[in-house]
Amino acid sequence: MVFSEAYFIKQGYIAARQLKDGTWIGIDDLIFYISIYVGLDASGWAKRYDYERENLFVLQEQYLLIKEFDDIPIGWVSKRPN
């Protein structure tokens, strides 16, 4: 399946973009956190980094700094898988 930003937006993500290595990442709003998802595909995601709502600026900055699947953002309060 070929993915696009529009595909992930339709799936409910606030934002989505493809990295140079082909990995898709996105942002979604949860009940208690706003999260960066890494490794998006049709079945879900591989990694999730949760941020406090008060740290929206940090989340946005880190979202833009991720360049490949193995990059680990900073400033998150929890992650999945642990």
Distance from C-alpha of 10 to C-alpha of 49, rounded to nearest angstrom = 21
Residue 1: the pLDDT is: 80
Residue 60 confidence (pLDDT): 97
Higher per-residue pLDDT: 69 or 1: 69
What value does the mean pLDDT take over residues 10-19? 97
Q: What's the average model confidence in pLDDT over 17-21?
A: 97
Q: For residue 38, give the nearest of 59, 16, 56, 60 by alpha carbon.
A: 16
In the chain, where the domains are located: 5-80
pLDDT in tens, 27-78: 999 999 999 999 999 999 999 999 999 999 999 999 999 999 999 999 999 9
**pTM here?**
0.95
What CA–CA distance (Å, rounded) separates 22 from 57?
A: 25
Output the CA angle 47-58-71, nearest 5 degrees: 40
